[in-house]
Chains A and B, each alone.
Chain A
Amino acid sequence: MDLRFTPEEVAFREEVRTFIAENLPRETRERMRLGYRPKKQEIIDWMRILNRKGWAAFNWPQEYGGTGWSAIQRMIFLEENLAAPAPELLSFNITMIGPVLIQFGTQAQKDHFLPRAKNLDDWWCQGFSEPGAGSDLASLRTRAEKDGDHYVVNGQKIWTSTAHNADWCFCLVRTNPNAAKRQEGISFLLIDMKTPGVEVRPIISIDGSHHLNEVFFTDVRVPVENLVGEENKGWSVAKYLLGNERTGIARLGSSKAAIRRSKEVAKEVRMKGRPLIEDQAFRTRVAQLEVDAKALEITQLRVVSAYAKAGGNKPDPVSSVLKVKGTELLQNSSELLMDVGGPQAMAVWQAELAALTNEPEIGPEWAPQMAPAYLMLRAASIYGGTNEIQKNILNKAVLGL
């Protein structure tokens, strides 16, 4: 057992850090440092910069244009990218549909979709959840009926992140409503969002942003060659997708960035006549989060290293620990940052709004995104399998209860 990074791993971290520092567009970095989420075009630009470097498909095998990095290297890369802060790689493309097509796709699907996914020529979204199928995904009802060389899809998806940006949707649909087990009648389809009958309606979330959507399918005709894997075997594809590479699930770099930002702003604001950074109650809160981050960092290394050791093809249920602690830390660090902002963080008057009206922004430049980040991150313990579901997974898969 050796708990230190090797010199090669340290050098790799330096290489990644330097590349990001030299290539991340300055405006993107500055906006993200202030807590703004990257715009669609900023995400596309950054993915293409990474793709030119050969890093966009960081977790794919080399034969498909991936990097061939070790699990530790992949973790370092993701952490550095988050901590920069740079736009996250579009997970729908890179950690979801890419690995799924590599594992289950036809040659034609791989040839067409993989290069486009890693260059973000196609923006993918995930059509899994439905109004009646959240944590209980297998109860989904969106129907796909065979009609010649097409499936005809009818139904509704919900909570579809970035569907309004998306060119394609990978979707779970019911192809056999009479299967003995609910899981056995589900198929995995690729749907072009421009197909007639696809309608995207926005859901505005409590942070005021448009990130989520409802997607309605009315007699949407999908060519049969867009089926991934076998018909009625879509559940195993979905399970592979959800269990695949969870290296980045803790999003530790993002929490670290929020803690760092809290300390920076705490030097500018005051508490009882002194800079907030000098207040011991505040400092203790920071210290606690830094302890939590350190524990998570090491647990993450252990999970990643065990995953790599196991051949990297079986999801490790212990990654549920990373999901729970990672999202708790994301929430707690965004809460700290908002509390540092105080009343200034409560104003809705955002930069975009100020620009439209030619009025100066209300409050300091660090304030506008504090509350939205806090509000949006309430979702962190809900998406990707709620933290309660993660505890169920731990019980079933590890504790045997």
Chain B
Amino acid sequence: MDFDLTEDQRLLTESVSRLLGDTYAFEQRKQLLKTPTGWSETLWAQYAELGLLGLPFSEDHGGFGGSAVDVMLLMQAFGKHLVLEPYLSTVVLGGTALRLAGSADQQDEILPGIAAGERRLAFAHYERQSRYDMTDVLTTAKASADGFVLEGAKATVLHGDSADTLIVSARTAGGRDDEAGLSLFLVDANSPGVAKRGYTLRDGSRAAELSFSGVQVPRDALLGEQDNALPVIRRVVEAGIAAGAAEVVGAMEAMQAMTLDYLKTRVQFGRAIGENQALQHRAAEMMIALEQGRSMAMLAAMMVDEPNAAERERNISMAKVGVGQAGRFVSQNAVQLHGGIGMTEEYAVGHFFRRVMVFEHLYGDTAYHLDLLADQVA
């Protein structure tokens, strides 16, 4: 047990904080939000230069062989600055799918490109009707003479509008809600029959609805085992939960700092509002929630590579619940303690609030994961 950062981890967080401190001030971010893609190609190239885009990949693939804890530290910094670039979708979700299920050829072809900043991925799994159910997949892939033909639609695909490579789940066998019969495919986003409708989520980040109409993919587009993709899909989602949990911790840190600052400077009735014990105690409760949430994000990072599936899934669910509840408490009270100014688009706290809100509704919300845990009580 050791909670200290290694020298490498210290350097990583320092260099990332420096870069984001220079480039991600609130006003700069607002300009980014107005661009058509909603994020910065220039920064993406800088992430590549810093080695961030290959952080969890092996050195053979142009990466750093970083651990889940390294990714956690990076995502925490991203959360603190509300980074908009498609890191989660490309490196975490896409990268995890390729690392776990990709053939040597597939990994060699794609991972170095990600690390170099030349390729971007999106994970197209959930559908409009599926909500949080991982097995509720209606998109189909029918075997054809030289591969498969994809038919169907995907919803809330993070950064699905700017990815060049899509990882698409589809049924090769079975029906809705069946655990077996799912397969993953690597699909060129510009293939004939792929249609995209990009949009922004409530936190300003980009997503897309994708549809697949008679999309032909070759046999070697299959990623991992045919009919048995669910274990990989689960682990990709778990990696997304662990990374997103760390982002929420970063966002909570930012909201806590902003709120404390406000409590110390805002004067009402002739004194700083932070001199009121009711508000002091709320601030202490926010700190307590933040620390409990941080512990749970650490748990997620610690468990994301755990080989025992039951143990891993249970702990990731716990982390999602813990971070979800902490995030809600901290963000709601951050707005409350700011008063009216916290309600305005012009002020940063509401942007952090919405980042936390969006993450809570990805990959199973608090109620969903609590229910999964309740199912296991014995």
Which residues on A are within 8 Å of B, measured CB to CB? Answer: 1-6, 9, 72, 263, 277, 280, 283-284, 286-288, 290-292, 294-299, 301-302, 305-306, 309, 318, 321, 324-325, 388, 390-392, 394-395, 398-401
- Residues in B whose Cβ lies below 8 Å from that of A305: 1-3
- Tell me which residues from 110 to 150 in chain B have a Cβ below 8 Å from any Cβ of chain A: none
Can you list 29 A-B contacts (CB < 8 A)?
A: A1-B3, A3-B1, A3-B301, A4-B302, A5-B1, A6-B1, A9-B1, A283-B375, A286-B374, A287-B377, A288-B370, A290-B318, A291-B322, A294-B299, A294-B315, A295-B292, A295-B318, A296-B295, A301-B3, A302-B295, A302-B298, A318-B291, A321-B291, A391-B280, A392-B277, A392-B284, A395-B283, A399-B284, A401-B263
CB of B311 within 8 Å of the partner chain: no
C-alpha spacing A321/B374, complex, angstroms: 26
C-alpha spacing A4/B322, complex, angstroms: 19
B1 touches A399 (CB 8 A): no
Q: Knowing that A280-B371, A298-B299 touch, tell me 4 more A-B residue pairs with CB under 8 angstroms.
A: A3-B302, A283-B374, A295-B292, A295-B295
- Residues in A whose Cβ lies below 8 Å from that of B260: 399-401
B280 touches A401 (CB 8 A): yes
Residue of B nearest to A281 (CB): B374
C-alpha spacing A295/B290, complex, angstroms: 11
Which of A287, A295, A388 interacts with B373 by CB under 8 Å? A287
- Residues in A whose Cβ lies below 8 Å from that of B318: 290-291, 294-295
- Residues in A whose Cβ lies below 8 Å from that of B9: 1
Among B285, B376, B377, the one with the most A-chain Cβ atoms within 10 Å of its Cβ is B377
B284 touches A394 (CB 8 A): yes
The smallest beta-carbon distance between B88 and chain A, in angstroms, is 21
Which of A1, A292, A296 interacts with B5 by CB under 8 Å? A1
- Tell me which residues from 278 to 317 in chain B have a Cβ below 8 Å from any Cβ of chain A: 280-281, 283-285, 287-288, 291-296, 298-299, 301-302, 315
The smallest beta-carbon distance between A38 and chain B, in angstroms, is 29
C-alpha spacing A67/B225, complex, angstroms: 54
A286 touches B377 (CB 8 A): yes
- Residues in B whose Cβ lies below 8 Å from that of A399: 260, 280, 283-284, 287
- Residues in A whose Cβ lies below 8 Å from that of B284: 390-392, 394-395, 399
- Residues in B whose Cβ lies below 8 Å from that of A401: 260, 263-264, 274-275, 280, 283
- Tell me which residues from 318 to 362 in chain B have a Cβ below 8 Å from any Cβ of chain A: 318, 321-322
C-alpha spacing A3/B321, complex, angstroms: 20
- Residues in B whose Cβ lies below 8 Å from that of A72: 1
Which residues on B are within 8 Å of A, measured CB to CB? Answer: 1-6, 9, 69, 260, 263-264, 274-275, 277, 280-281, 283-285, 287-288, 291-296, 298-299, 301-302, 315, 318, 321-322, 370-371, 373-378
Among A288, A291, A399, the one with the most B-chain Cβ atoms within 10 Å of its Cβ is A291
A298 touches B280 (CB 8 A): no
Given A290-B373, A401-B274, the answer on whether A324 and B288 have CB atoms closer than 8 Å is yes
A284 touches B371 (CB 8 A): yes
C-alpha spacing A292/B291, complex, angstroms: 12
The smallest beta-carbon distance between A348 and chain B, in angstroms, is 31
**3 nearest A-B pairs in the assembled complex, by CB-CB distance:** A298-B295, A287-B373, A391-B284
The smallest beta-carbon distance between A295 and chain B, in angstroms, is 4
Residue of A nearest to B70 (CB): A1
B292 touches A296 (CB 8 A): yes
- Residues in A whose Cβ lies below 8 Å from that of B292: 292, 295-296, 299, 321, 325
Residue of B nearest to A328 (CB): B288
A325 touches B288 (CB 8 A): yes
C-alpha spacing A388/B296, complex, angstroms: 25
The smallest beta-carbon distance between A398 and chain B, in angstroms, is 7
Among A3, A263, A299, A305, the one with the most B-chain Cβ atoms within 10 Å of its Cβ is A3
Residue of A nearest to B292 (CB): A295
- Residues in A whose Cβ lies below 8 Å from that of B370: 284, 287-288, 291
- Residues in B whose Cβ lies below 8 Å from that of A298: 295-296, 298-299
Residue of B nearest to A299 (CB): B295
C-alpha spacing A77/B5, complex, angstroms: 26
C-alpha spacing A295/B6, complex, angstroms: 23
Which of B1, B274, B287 interacts with A394 by CB under 8 Å? B287
C-alpha spacing A263/B378, complex, angstroms: 7
The smallest beta-carbon distance between A330 and chain B, in angstroms, is 15
- Residues in A whose Cβ lies below 8 Å from that of B1: 2-6, 9, 72, 301, 305
- Residues in B whose Cβ lies below 8 Å from that of A324: 288
C-alpha spacing A3/B4, complex, angstroms: 10
A391 touches B371 (CB 8 A): no
Residue of A nearest to B274 (CB): A401
- Residues in A whose Cβ lies below 8 Å from that of B2: 1-2, 305
The smallest beta-carbon distance between A264 and chain B, in angstroms, is 11
The smallest beta-carbon distance between A296 and chain B, in angstroms, is 7
Residue of A nearest to B260 (CB): A399
C-alpha spacing A295/B291, complex, angstroms: 9
- Residues in A whose Cβ lies below 8 Å from that of B283: 395, 399, 401
C-alpha spacing A401/B279, complex, angstroms: 10
